[in-house]
Structure 1
Amino acid sequence: MKKKMLLFFSLISLVTLSGCAKWIDRGESITAVGSSALQPLVETAAEEYQNQHPGRFINVQGGGSGTGLSQVQSGAVEIGNSDLFAEEKKGIDAEKLVDHKVAVVGITPIVNKNIGLKDISLENLRKIFLGEIKNWQEIGGKDLPVVILNRAAGSGTRATFEKWVLDGKTAVQAQEQDSSGMVRSIVADTPGAISYTAFSYVSDEVGTLSIDGVKPTDENVTTNKWIIWSYEHMYTLGKPKQLTDEFLAYMLSDDVQEKIIGQLGYIPVSKMEVERDWQGNLVK
């Protein structure tokens, strides 16, 4: 009797496991890797998409734009998130990749709230990151040493900032961080600190600086009065297929473009009054 019962439960277990295996087989998943500036938007959209489509999974990871572009080019992931055009990144064959622009992000200098400044000239901002200004008192702030915090070398946020603020020069060597959230926390806790981040990461913990009287606002980005901005790209290796194609279509749907993007501090591409090519030239 005991042997029969054990056999019965073994058969039940096999049937159950077989059913689970079939359910798992029906599940689909893709991975999107790259830009930390774009990460909060993709994570939020992925969560909403998965709620609407049980059994489909969108794995979202950071790592920076350079990582996203190299990973998608190699075929290691389905989507490479980037603040940069693929043409801007060395070692990337842009002709193999398909660009899906899903949003625009403004990038702003952020500072410790106690530096004593609200506005800075573009020239002085450049001098700070090139190491030519070393104390806030030199430009009307408090007597505090300037503490620079950079994003890591592969960061699209850093590349965008250096392109538009430093005329393509490399910022002076300083502490670096991969995570936008960590950058914000360090700036908030460090007297005299300055860095830069996407609008979507700005919080009450830190201060922002207007540049030559122009404030870092969405409206000023849409007209190019605020020049430190970039497209948010989701690249695929060739034409996207199946779940990748469906998720990218969802990213461009009204559900995301009208309901999620603005809430998270991004700007829909459709609201831009100007358009840039990969070299930074205005084409609209």
Structure 2
Amino acid sequence: MKRSWLAMVGTVLIIGGYLGYTYTTRQKTNSGTQITAVGSTALQPLVEAVGEEFASKNLGVYVNVQGGGTGTGLSQVQEGAVTLGNSDLFAEEKQGIDAKKLTDHKVAVVGITPIVNKGVGIKKLTQTQLIKIFTGKITNWQQVGGKNLKITLLNRASGSGTRAVFEKWALNGAESAPAPEQDSSGMVRSIVATTPGAISYLAFSYADKTVQTVKIDGVAPTIANVTTNKWKIWAYEHIYTKGKVNGTVKKFITYLQSRHVQNTVVPQLGYISIHDMQVERSANGTITKR
């Protein structure tokens, strides 16, 4: 009877110890290895894909990726609310952001292209025509050789890095006319694809056969043309951290920049490897050869 009682006590202690160990381990996993990335929807597919791959190789790590736009990503990482701030812009380009407090990690390059509904009847524009369309001076596709259709503008939200890049490099700094706005690149593509006369702009990685991309001044929106700056509507994809990082976060960023990811996932998703660029662009727009 005594032995039976002792055995029961031992079993309870073992089970209790195991449960305590399991609970502690789970608590450490939940609190210590979640990486939260917020910001650019143009960069979101890459961080999601690489995050899943990284987590599969590092058990217990979870990479939580959310959109919201470049402005949201930069402001939240600056406030310390998230681990990573995904951005289509240099932090120096964003008003209200103290770039000195943030560390820049370039993880890819994204080309941005105008897109139109496939029914408008055009595949190319001059930059002057593009500017006039987005500033409301040209209002019908017939004015640029297309069909007799009213032009319907669709913009990204004002905090979007994609919009800032497009206005800076495609519109020569002109501000787009007031128009409906969308936070999501996927929604922009869907709306343009289903709205007669629609025009907007997207990262190469989102452009598919449901919409028509547009040549500008005879130059096609291709990866090869971005690498030489022949196609000027492009930007680095940045991941910003609040100061320097170490541990799992540093390991994840290093993995994003690795030759393996840059040569596989990056091109597969329509981005351009940072290693393939033949030029470099500074925050003030200066282009230099690599």
Aligned to 2:154: 149
| C-alpha displacement of 1:26 | 3.4
Aligned to 1:82: 87
Q: 2:197 aligns with which of 192, 195, 200?
A: 192
2:288 pairs with 1:283? yes
| C-alpha displacement of 1:260 | 0.5
Q: 1:45 aligns with which of 36, 43, 50?
A: 50
> Percentage identity across aligned positions?
58
Are the counterparts in 2 of residues 26 and 55 from structure 1 also a CA contact under 8 Å?
A: no
Q: 2:28 aligns with which of 26, 30, 42?
A: 26
Aligned to 1:106: 111
Offset from partner CA, 1:178-221 (integer Å, 9 cap, x none): 00000000000000000000000011111100111110000000
Q: What TM-score does the superposition give when structure 2 sets the normalisation length?
A: 0.92
Distance in 2 (CA, whole Å) between partners of 1:9 and 1:183 is: 60
Distance in 2 (CA, whole Å) between partners of 1:190 and 1:17 is: 57
Aligned to 1:274: 279
Aligned to 1:175: 180
| C-alpha displacement of 1:13 | 7.1
Aligned to 2:129: 124
The structure-2 alpha-carbon separation of the partners of 1:19 and 1:127, relative to structure 1 and needing over 3 Å to count, comes to same
Structure 2: 5+ residue runs without aligned partners?
A: none
Are the counterparts in 1 of residues 167 and 174 from structure 2 also a CA contact under 8 Å?
A: yes
* Partner SS, residue 104 of structure 1: strand
Are the counterparts in 2 of residues 106 and 230 from structure 1 also a CA contact under 8 Å?
A: yes
Aligned to 1:95: 100
* Partner amino acid, structure 2, of 1:158: R
| C-alpha displacement of 1:9 | 9.9
Q: 2:213 aligns with which of 208, 213, 220?
A: 208
Q: 2:144 aligns with which of 132, 139, 143?
A: 139
Distance in 2 (CA, whole Å) between partners of 1:217 and 1:241 is: 36
Are the counterparts in 2 of residues 136 and 143 from structure 1 also a CA contact under 8 Å?
A: yes
Structure 1: 5+ residue runs without aligned partners?
A: none
Q: How many residues align?
A: 280
Structure with bigger gyration radius = 2
Are the counterparts in 2 of residues 37 and 180 from structure 1 also a CA contact under 8 Å?
A: yes
The structure-2 alpha-carbon separation of the partners of 1:186 and 1:11, relative to structure 1 and needing over 3 Å to count, comes to farther
> What is the root-mean-square deviation in Å for CA atoms of aligned residues?
1.8
